[in-house]
Amino acid sequence: MSRNNRDYISCRNPAATKQQEAGWNRMVRDLEHRKAKENHRKEVKTNGRNA
């Protein structure tokens, strides 16, 4: 697909692009949050209860 076609498709429905971006950002935030929770759990395990 040519570059012009791709640009046209992405510009044709900016609302969908915004929605996609919001969904993507939320997914990334959830993943980062989950990773932070896992790291915290590991720290608590290695440091014992008096962490």
pLDDT reported for residue 47: 81
Residue 35: give the domain boundaries.
Answer: 3-47
Q: Are 28 and 36 in contact (CB under 8 A)?
A: no
Q: Are 44 and 51 in contact (CB under 8 A)?
A: yes
pLDDT reported for residue 29: 95
- Reported as a single tens digit per residue, the pLDDT across 1-51 is 566 666 666 567 777 788 888 999 999 999 999 999 999 988 888 887 655
Among candidates 12, 50, 37, which has minimal Cα distance to 4? 12
CA atoms within 13 A on the CB side of 42: 6
Quote the number of domains for the chain. Answer: 1
pLDDT reported for residue 50: 59
